[in-house]
Amino acid sequence: MINNAGIIIHNSTDEQKKLTIKTNYFSVVKLTEKLIPFLPDDGKILQVSSRVSQLAIQGETLRNALSDPDLTEVKLNDIANRIVELTPDYKPLNVADEPSYPASKALLNTYVRHFLPAKLKPTQQVYAIHPGWVKTGMGGDNAPKTTEEGADTIIYLTNLPFKVDPEINAKLIADRKIMEF
């Protein structure tokens, strides 16, 4: 299963920030959980994320909330619902000039890393994937990667043997390598 939901609204209002979280985080989690029962015993879930999802890129307030050692899935969803109040210290970064897109992908990564593996069979795998800045409707014409180049890691992970590899399972992967969450 490959889940790819992503919108970014530049100069977004608070309502648009909430829409970004709803689209990029809540809808992906909801779809994933509805499809888990249909995932084969050796199935894989690939969640398309982004490099701007890394905790180091988030503002300190959100980074601290997502790094809470007592974080639960209920708390994670509460964080998502309070995204406007938890991102005032986000510092714009290149194309991620507003906080909700990076935050939505950081939320998704947290779900992949901490909560989704427990919902899967021990023989099933999950990955968060950074395809790169890709020439798409969202990425724009200035993006350096073609869609084929952006799909490389997705194809690579899809074609790996259907055997759980604890070295890469539930990790953020880009250019076929593990990235820091």
- In which domain, by residue range, is 61 found? 2-179
CATH number of the domain that 47 lies in? 3.40.50.720
Q: Could you tell me the pTM of the whole model?
A: 0.92
Over residues 105-163, the pLDDT tens digits come to 999 999 999 999 999 999 999 999 988 766 677 667 776 777 788 788 999 999 988 88
Domain count within the chain: 1
At residue 134, the 3 state secondary structure works out as strand
Cα distances (angstroms) measured from residue 132 to each of 34, 50, 136: 28, 7, 11
Over residues 34-63, the pLDDT tens digits come to 999 999 999 999 999 998 999 999 999 999
**pLDDT-wise least confident of 23-37, 74-88, 107-121, 159-173:** 159-173
| 120-147 burial code (b ≥16 CB/10 A, e <16) | beeebbbbbbbbbbbbeeebeeebebee
Instruction: Confirm if 168 and 16 have CB atoms less than 8 A apart.
Output: no
Torsions phi, psi for 45 (to 5 deg): -120, 125
Task: Please tell me the predicted confidence (pLDDT) of residue 94.
Answer: 76
Q: What is the DSSP string of 100-133?
A: HHHHHHHHHHHIIIIISGGGS-TT-EEEEEE--S
Task: Please tell me the predicted confidence (pLDDT) of residue 145.
Answer: 75
β-strand pairing of 172-174 with 2-3: unpaired
β-strand pairing of 172-174 with 177-179: antiparallel
